[in-house]
Amino acid sequence: METSQKTIFPKGKKNEIPYFTGISYLQMLMTDEKNFDCSIGNVTFEKGCRNNWHSHPGGQILLVTDGEGYYQEKGNPARIIKAGDVIEIKPDVIHWHGATPRSEMTHIAISTRTSLGPAVWGAPVTDEEYKNCEQ
């Protein structure tokens, strides 16, 4: 599945955060955490790109806007996510998300209640864990 290449928000710059396997892009859309207690970013994952296992003390909401990807919570099987999906991630739930090997994936990432602290990053998703998503 290819992405539609329809962009609502800018793709942003290549993401230099070290907690990703593969290439991703990030465009922050809202950063006034003091007044809104959240941050909002547009994240594009190239084919096969995924982030490390991580959690958010205040939770996170993902709005998938393009392509096809995976979302997995620790201890549960991965699931396919597509444009139009809304993923509600409760506080402190360890998870990862990224693109499938055959499609880029873009989502709006809303980190909620950021005053509770930043994301807590863990180990990379192994190639074996990633490949198991296809089964």
pLDDT (0 to 100) of residue 8: 84
pLDDT, one tens digit per residue, over 1-59 is 444 456 689 899 999 999 999 999 999 999 888 899 999 999 999 999 999 999 999 99
**3-state SS, residue 53:** coil
Which of 41, 87, 85 minimizes the C-alpha distance to 66?
Answer: 85
pLDDT (0 to 100) of residue 134: 80
pLDDT (0 to 100) of residue 32: 87
Looking at beta carbons, which pairs linking 23-30 to residues 24 or more positions away fall under 8 Å?
23/49, 24/49, 24/51, 29/108
pLDDT, one tens digit per residue, over 107-131 is 999 999 999 999 999 999 999 999 9
pLDDT tops 80 at residue 76: yes
pLDDT (0 to 100) of residue 3: 43
pLDDT tops 70 at residue 69: yes
Q: Where are the alpha helices (DSSP H) in the chain?
A: 33-36, 127-132
Quote the CATH superfamily of domain 13-132: Jelly Rolls (2.60.120.10)
